[in-house]
Structures are given as structure tokens and as C-alpha cells.
Structure 1
Amino acid sequence: MAHPDSSPPPRHPHWLGRSLLWLPWVLGLVGGIYALGRFTADIPVAYADAPSHFKYGSTGGERESGFPYWIWKVLPKVCPEHLPGDGYRSIGFTYEPGKDLPIGVSKRFNLGIDRVFLNCAACHASTVRDAPGAAPAVYLGMPAHRLDLKGFETFFFNCAAGPKFRSEFIVPEIEAAAGRLSPLDRYVVYPVAISLMRERLLMLRERFAFAFEQPDWGPGRVDTFNSAKILFNFPMHQLPKKELLGASDFPSIWLQGPRMKRDDGERMELHWDGNNTRTEERNKSAAFGTGTTPPTIDLRAVGRIEQWLLDLTPPVWPYAIDTEKAERGKTLYAATCAACHGASGRDFAGKYVGHVTPIADIATDRARLDSYTYTLAVNQSTLYAGYPHRFQHFRKTHGYANMPLDGLWLRGPYLHNGSVPTVRDLLNPAADRPTRFWRGNDIIDRDRLGFVSDVAAEPDRQYFPFDTTEPGNGNGGHEGAAYGTTLAPEDKDAIVEFLKTF
């Protein structure tokens, strides 16, 4: 009989050993599936109706340029010293009631987190108030005359260059706003995102250094094609100074369908200088401003906006019109203006509509014209190489294009560089136009047609002092008998009254 103390030790079941052997593989598989599902997902926030899609839908820019949503959200609290006031509102972004993001900012789940960036509405939607203190009305398709895009860029650049663009400052603000993060997000995802975002912003800050040497753009303006030169790695510090002053106003984008054809059967010449005749290329080019690149652009989303804009009409003038004066103005307009700007706000017929007028004739500030060069046009022809929609129609011109005037009441200030505050001022000789005024007000000047421009501030708003003596801001040109500046004052007033019907 065996002694009790000599019994063999207990043996673990074979299945337990095998389970422990497989456990790391199972955990790795589960983790891999989670990582694959989270970090490869690419899901834009979708909107059923076209106006909401325009205001908040993605163009694909978040894939390449998107900011992590929660970093975007808390950064004004981390770096308030780099903003003029309360958050993104202080640089002209518009928030609708109940919306978490401002108009013109879209969201997409990409690389494991929600990311946000600008879309088309950032530059092509804005507000109008009837009076100080009145609720603003949002109009889609009008120029974003209150958005300080350079201020937006400067905020991110300066914050990234400062001491607080670090996890120890940003992550606590995220948790204060979003609640406690998971260990993965707190110790891995957001620290990595913050580091990558900082490095990217500092790189762009160096590349865009030329912009800090320009006069301030002010709200409603952008230097479109000098930014494009960055994309092509132009040596900005070696370019002639006359190329580096291209700031001009955001355009309106209504009624794109009628802009596809002019009286002679050809396409209208688009952009301020008429450097392209294809709305499709113009739109894809503009999408670069929303952070897209040829591999990342969401063509379906952009195409949806294109279709909607074909027939989008501007809102009608909401105030009283002196019909008798407007009728007299119609006759004067037909004789003086219609050949270049169309018969009305819906009828774009006119011998010179959509044609470029040589700079020697129009004589407006030439900085925007000089900023767009033949070399840039050649480089743009390489965009989308290998795709069916490769760019083919960009070209260098030698003047500015004659535009239809639909929705003119929402398009102030006027001329390509926004150097004339009202239409009535534009009908005066250049010597009689204001040399200094304030941009960014959204109250309509009902008499002179434009936005109120003689108010420097309201209790909760500061407006931008625009100086027409600064390089690139000249308010000359578009004057003489052919442009109506020699008409009698009462005739000019009548034309203004008629233009309210556009």
C-alpha cells in the first residue's frame, strides 16, 4: 500500500495549458480586429438635404488636413491669447442654434478619431442683420465677408509655436469637455495626434511665412494662388515681390449653370482674372482650399454640391424699392453697364459678359493679376495627372473678367479686392471713393448698396480698418464714361436702385 505522502502531484488538465498558450494569439487577434475597425474606418457625417450638406458636409479634406475634433474644440481655451475674442466666432465663423460646429466646418471619422476641417461654405456663406442687435440671417452662396481666414491660419500657427501645444495642456481640456478618455486615447491616441498636428502646423507656418509679410487681408479675403504655389513647392522667398500680393475677395457662387455659357457660345472666363473656363476644374481647384488633394478628394460629395449650385439663386432684396427710380435706373444700366455685366440678375446676356477686360482698360489694382503667373498655370496642368479629370484649362490672362451681378446686394465690398465699400461709391471717380473704411459689418447699407462701412465697432464686435493705400488694396480703376462715373448723381442713385433688384 502506497504511503500517503508519496502520492504524485496533481496535474493540470491539458486544455488549460493549451488555452494559456493560445491566449496571447486570441488577445492579439481581438486587438487587431479592433484596431483594424477603428483606425481604417473612413466615415463622413452625412446630410440628406443639399443645404445642410453644403454647410456641414465633407469634401474629403479631413483625410489629409483634418484636425482632431476635440483638439479643434478646446484649442481656443488652450490659446485664447491668439484670438481677438470669444473662440472661433471672433474670427467670423457663424454658429447656428443647436449646432456644435460652425457653418463651413465638416466632420469625418478617420484614422481612429473624429476629424474636422473647412468645406465650401466656410468661404461662401455668411450673415445679414437688419440692425444692430438684430438676429442674423444666414445666406448660402454669398461671400463669407466676415470670415478672417488669415486670422484662422495665424491662430493655429501661433498656438502650435507656443509652449501650450502639449498633451499636458490639451488633454485635460479635452477631458473637461468630453469626459474621461479611455487609457488608449489618453496615453496614446491624443498625445500622438497632438505631436503630429504640432509638427504639421509648424511646417506649414514656415512655408506660409510670406503671408506674414503681407498687409493684413482682413475679413472676406484670401490669397488663393500664392497658397497654391506652396502646394507646388515654389521657393516663395525667391519670387518677385509683385507676385506675393494676391489677396482678393471671396466670390459669390450662385447660378453656376448659366455661367457655363456666354453670348458667343464659349464658356465664361472664371475667377477674378478669368484664368479658367471650366466650372468643374474651378471647383476642384477651390477644393484644395478645403484641404483636399487628388487622392483624398471626395468626388461624390463635391459633385453633389456642384449640381446644387447650378441652379441656386441668390435671395431677393428684402427691403423696399423705389420702383419709379429703379425703372429709370434700368434704362441707364442698359446703356452703361449691361454689355459687361448682363441684362439683369438672372439674364446674363451681354456682349462682354464672361470676357476678360485688359488691365490697361479696366485699370483696377493689378496685384491679384500679377500674383497668378504662367509658371503656376503650367504647374496646375499637372494636377490630377492619371485621372480622367486632369486639369487642362488654367491659363495666364492680362486683365480681369466681367462678372454677372446676381445677388449684388450681398457681394460687398466691391471690385476684386474689396476696396470699394458700396456700389454707390464705385460709381464715383476713384478720387472720390473712401480711402479708409471698416470691413466685416453684416448690416446692409440700404441707400448706397453694400454693407455698413463707417462703423468701427459695436459692443461685441470689432471691425477691420481697410486702408486702400496699402499695396494690393488700391481702389482705382473702373472709372470714366464707360463705367458710369461721369453720370449725374441722381442717375447714379437710379442705377443703384435698379441693382437692388438683382
Structure 2
Amino acid sequence: MTTENTGVKSKPVWWKFVVIIVAILVTVLIYLVSPLLLGNGSVKYADIEDHFKYGSIGGEEANGIPYWIWKVLPVMFPDKLPGEGYTSLGFISEPEQDLPIGFSQSKILFNRVGQNCATCHAGSLRDTPDSQPQIITTMPSNTVDLEGYIKFLSAVAVDHRFTAKEMMPMIESLGAKLNPLEKLIYRYLAIPQTRDALITQRSQFAFLERQSDYGPGRVDTFTSYKTRQFGFSSELIEDKELNGIADFPSIWQQKPREGMQLHWDGDNKSVNERNSSAALALVTPTTINLDAIHRVADWLWELPPPPYPYEINQELASLGKPIYQNNCASCHAFDGAKVGTVVPIEEIGTDRGRLDSYTYEFLSNQNTLFTDIIYKGEDQRFQNFRKTNGYANMPLDGIWLRAPYLHNGSVPTLKDLLAAPDNRPQEFYRGYDVFDRDKVGFVSDVAEEQGKQYFKFDTRLPGNSNSGHLYGIDLDSQDKEALVEYLKTL
């Protein structure tokens, strides 16, 4: 009997081990890399109000902070905050939400935290000190200390504890479930790069040391724009340009505002350009998510202001209506002859700091933005910005919820606004959200409540003057009462 030799040799046993090892390595690699490659993009919200509060507008790519670093900062550096966590800076947290209102999250290899429109346009209202706060989107963010947040990030960036050695154990103690590759990325890339980015941002905000403190509900619109978008040197910005701190505005009911002179100084007539310009505080022209911005804009287009929630004396309001029509409507009613036009600074007489902060040099740079960016067939380059000589007359819809008043928030209530400047409060407190139904505005004489300190606003500091807008100050007391009652109905 013979054995036939087929010529086929069996593969060595070691080859099988190689295949197994390669398979294991591939599996491990997939395990390590897939969390970085899968699920990239921003968190989506079906509900438009949730999208407004938490949806991304593109800020994470430009200025986002890695999620676990952002989460650990207030835990590591409580000594650099006025109280516990980000809410001590006035940011509003809702139950079962991971981030405060105004913060968004996107995954770009790993999760990053940015900010959106609600940072400046969502506030809170309490009926009494013992009431639960009511969150109202599209109103000015009356409690948010944005300058405090910027200064917090600047302070931690140069703290000796901002190292991977100090930070990684604390991140893990918060429950972070990072795989070995993600830990390496955080340790050797995310943490040092974030620190470097925050140090750069600190230098871009160096001008803060030369300004009056903002306090809650206010921001300098254009100085950071100059240093961050265009690279202006903080040291070379003139002192008179540094006092442009202004109140956050309300943003409801935008349709009738199209074509009016917008922003406090009336520097643009296009709602679309105004929206894109405002977003540049948080994004860049190349990272802005125009779909997200326009989704919000469509919602705001005909969104009415919240109605006054308390009892209105209708008889008194009816007496106030003709007073409003004779003294206010031409400048502030939607059909007024002068609404949406600019009143020269010599006439309006209010603090000129915001007007002077918007310069021709800045304008010439601003009009280069969004070059070659097309959205739905339309050129997005800015074409409507102009330098003006005063402040714009604003419609008064929802005026009851837009306190404090004047462009710089220097007058706490409507009744105070109807007083001569010498009789308006020289100092008052901002950031308190209990409503003053008598004077119409927020209670402004509370310095502290349950350990929380409120911001003392001093009208004698640069940019904070409560002068000007002398309209209505000569009305008698009964007419003022009637006018204020009617203004509640708008």
C-alpha cells in the first residue's frame, strides 16, 4: 500500500498564533479608537427651546473646552469662584441637565463644551425671595456674570495646579470613564493645549484690567471682538474705547425690527448680520453653524414677549395710554415715526462709552468678515455695518422684563428712569432676580441673600453714567404712575 503525497504542506502552528495576536490587537485598537471616531458632531435637540438653551452654534470647534476639563475646573479651583460651581457666576442650571443654560456640547474626537446664544439671552424671575425662579428664555441674562466667567478661566490658566498630574486623578474621581488612549490624549494633549489656549485668551482679555467691572447682565460687545477676531493689541486700544459695556438685550419678536437701526448704537439694519455678528463672541466665521443660528432666528422672528405676569390696574393703565402716545410712541412704538432711528448723542445725553467703542478702524475690519461664505445661495459678507453718532430708539415690547434700563443698564427701574438723573440711584445692586412690581424692574437694594453677594453698580465709574434720556421726567407723579402702569401692557 502506498501513501500519495499531495504536495500541500500544513501551515506552521505559529502562524495561527500570529493571526490570533493580530485579531486581538485590531480588537483593542478598535476599542481604543472607536470612541474618538464615532458619534462626532453636536448634541441635537428636537425642541426649539432646548436647542436655544443647549444646542451648539459652532463654538466648540473654535473655543471649546474638553468636557472633563470644564467639569473639573470648579472642583479644582473653588478658591477662584465666588461660590460653589458655575452657578455662583449666575449661570442657570435646570434639573436633570448636565450643563447650565447657555452651554452646549459637541464631540470633535472627544466631547467639548462651548457656549451659545442663551448665555446672554436667558434669565430668571422670582415673585418673592422665597419663590422658585422662573426661567425665561430670550430675556436678557440678568444674573449671568460673563466677565466673572472669563476672569475665572484666566485665573485657572496660570495656576500651578493646572497640570495633568493634578487634574487627571480629579477627573477620574468625577466618574470619567476614559479608556487608556483617551487618558493619554487628555494627559499629553488636551490638558496642556487647553491651558495654552486659556493663557492666550487671558492675554486677549487683558483689557479687562482697564475697565469698570461689568457685573451681571452686561458685556463689552466690541473690545474682545477687536482683540480676538482681529488681533488688536489691548495696550494700544484708547481709553475712550474701553467704556463700551452694555446690557444684554432681549431678542424676541425680530420680524418688525428688520430694517430698523439695530444694536444699541444702531450700527446695522440687517437682523441676519446682527445675529452673525453677535455669534462671533463665541465662534469664528469659519466655524459658525449657520443652520443652528437660522433655526433660532426663525423661532425668534415672530415670538412675542412674555406678558406681564402680575395684576395690572387697567383703569390706571388706560389713563397712561394717551400719556405714552403723546410722550413715548413716536420713538418707541412699532409704528412710531422715529422708532429704529438714531438719536444724536448730543440730544439723548446718555453715557457715550458704547458709542465711542465702535470705531471706524473696527468697522473697516468688520466689513471683511464672512468673505466667500455662501449660505443657501446668499453671500454672508457683512455689508450693512455703519458708524453712527448716537443711540437707536428701541421698541418697548416686553419692556417690563428688560431692566435695568438705558443701554448700559445704569437705571434699575422704569420709575427711576422717569426721575431726573440727579434723583436716580447713584448706586444699586444687580443680579438679584426678585421682581419689583411697584417700580417695575428688579429689586435693586439687596446686597446679600443667603450668603450670595450681589454686585454693587456705581454710576460714577467710566461707562456707567445714568445721565440723559430726559423724556418724561417733567410729568407729574400721577401721570408717571399711569404711564408706568401702561408700560406693563406692552
Out of 113, 116, 120, the residue aligned to residue 123 of structure 1 is: 120
2:254 is equivalent to residue 268 of structure 1:
no
Instruction: Give the letter aligned to residue 311 of structure 1.
Output: E
Within the candidate set 433, 447, 450, 1:442 is matched to: 433
Q: Deviations over 1:22-41 (max 9, x none)?
A: 96699579848964772485
Is the Cα–Cα contact under 8 Å of residues 204 and 224 in structure 2 kept in the other structure? Answer: no
Please name the residue that 2:53 is paired with: 55
Alignment deviations for residues 36-91 of structure 1 (CA, whole Å, 9 cap, x no partner): 77248532111111111101111011111111111111110100011000111110
Code of the residue aligned with 1:271 in structure 2: it is H
The answer to whether structure 1 residue 500 and structure 2 residue 476 are counterparts is no
**Matched residue, 2:165:** 168
Alpha-carbon spacing, 1:190–1:338, altered in 2? closer, same or farther (3 Å):
farther
**What CA distance in whole angstroms lies between the structure 2 residues aligned with 1:40 and 1:234?**
39
Q: Which amino acid aligns with 1:419?
A: S
Deviations 1:407-465 (Å, cap 9, x if unpaired)?
A: 11111000000000001111111111110000011111101110000111111421100
Which of 319, 329, 334 is equivalent to 2:310? 319
**Count of aligned positions:** 476
Q: 1:374 aligns with which of 356, 360, 365?
A: 360
1:4 matched to which residue of 2? Answer: none
- Rate the CA distance shift 1:31–1:497 in 2: closer, same or farther, 3 A: same
Q: Provide the rounded CA distance (Å) in 1 between the counterparts of 2:40 and 2:359.
A: 37
* 1:457 match: 448
80-89 vs 33-42, which moves further: 33-42
Instruction: Name the counterpart of 1:227.
Output: 224
Q: TM-score, normalised by structure 1?
A: 0.91
Secondary structure of the 1:293 match is: coil
Letter of the aligned partner of 2:271 in structure 1? T
Partner of 1:345: none
The alignment status of 1:113 with 2:110, answered yes or no, reads yes
1:389 to 380, 397, 400: 380
CA distance in 1, matches of 2:284, 2:177: 35
1:300 aligns with 2:288: no
Residue of 139, 144, 148 corresponding to 1:142: 139
**SS at 1:178 equivalent:** coil
| Amino acid aligned to 2:134 | A
Please tell me the residue identity of whatever aligns with 1:350.
Answer: G
Query: Which residue is 1:431 aligned to?
Result: 422
Provide Cα deviations, 1:280-318, integer angstroms capped at 9, x if missing partner.
1111111112x2112211111111001000011111111
Shift of 1:185: 2.1
3-state SS of paired residue (1:304) = helix
Give the Cα–Cα distance (whole angstroms) in 1 for the partners of residues 431 and 230 of structure 2: 32
Measured after TM superposition, the shift of residue 155 of structure 1 is: 0.5
2:245 to 244, 247, 266: 247
Contact 2:32 2:181 in 1 (8 A): no
Q: Of 309, 328, 333, which aligns to 1:337?
A: 328
1:362 offset after TM fit, Å? Answer: 0.2
Distance (Å, rounded) in 2 between the aligned partners of 1:362 and 1:170: 52
Deviations 1:373-425 (A, max 9, x none): 01111111110111221111111111000001111111100000000000111
> Cα distance 1:29–1:395, how it changes in 2: closer, same or farther (>3 A)?
farther
- The answer to whether 1:152 aligns with 2:156 is no
Deviations 1:111-157 (A, max 9, x none): x2111111101100010001012100011110001100000000011
The alpha-carbon deviation at position 17 of structure 1 amounts to 4.2
Q: 1:196-224: per-residue Cα shift (whole Å, max 9, x none)?
A: 00000001111211112211110000001
When structure 1 is superposed on structure 2, of 168-177 and 220-229 the one drifting more is 168-177
Alpha-carbon spacing, 1:32–1:180, altered in 2? closer, same or farther (3 Å): closer
Q: What does the per-residue CA deviation read over 1:6-25, in whole Å, with 9 as the maximum and x for residues that have no partner?
A: xxxxx993474497499669
Gaps of 5+ in 1: 1-10, 261-266, 343-347
Q: Distance in 2 between matches of 1:259 and 1:161?
A: 44
1:491 paired to 2:479 = yes
Offset of residue 186 of structure 1: 2.2
2:65 aligns with 67
Q: Which runs of 5+ in 2 are unaligned?
A: 1-8, 374-378
**Residue 189 of structure 1, CA deviation:** 2.9
Amino acid at match of 2:98: D
> What is the deviation of 1:179?
4.4
Counterparts of 1:325-364 in structure 2 under 5 Å? 325-342=316-333, 348-364=334-350
SS for the counterpart of 1:173 is helix
Q: 1:282 aligns with which of 260, 274, 280?
A: 274
User: How far apart, CA to CA, are the structure 2 residues paired with 1:367 and 1:24?
Assistant: 67
1:485 deviates by 0.7
Q: Which residue of 1 aligns with 2:101?
A: 103
- What is the letter of the counterpart of residue 424 of structure 1? K
Contact 2:122–2:136, Cα closer than 8 Å, also in 1 = yes
Write the letter of the residue equivalent to 2:450. Answer: P
Report % sequence identity: 49
Structure 2: distance between partners of 1:273 and 1:27: 62
Structure 1 180/235 Cα, relative in aligned 2: closer, same or farther at 3 Å?
closer
Which amino acid in structure 2 is aligned with residue 406 of structure 1?
A: D
Q: CA deviation at 1:469?
A: 0.1
Give the 3-state SS of the residue equivalent to 2:301 in structure 1. helix
Alpha carbons of 1:164 and 1:337: their partners in 2 closer, same or farther (altered >3 Å)? same
User: Separation in 1 of the partners of 2:303 and 2:288?
Assistant: 23
Amino acid at match of 1:430: P
Cα RMSD after superposing both structures:
2.0
> Aligned partners of 2:120 and 2:296: how far apart in 1?
14
Report matched runs for 1:141-220 at 5 Å: 141-220=138-217
Partners in 2 of 1:58 and 1:321 — Cα distance? 39
Paired AA for residue 206 in structure 2: A
1:419 to 410, 413, 419: 410
8 Å CA contact 2:156–2:162 kept in 1: the answer is yes
The letter of the residue matching 1:314 is: P
- Kept in 1, the 8 Å contact 2:68–2:176? The answer is no
Give the CA deviation at 1:239: 2.2
- 1:25/1:245 Cα in 2 relative to 1: closer, same or farther (>3 Å)? farther
Distance 2:287 2:449 in 1: 42
- Secondary structure at the aligned position of 1:472 is classed as coil
CA distance in 2, matches of 1:157, 1:496: 42
Matches of 1:318 and 1:190, distance apart in 2: 51
SS at match of 1:311: coil
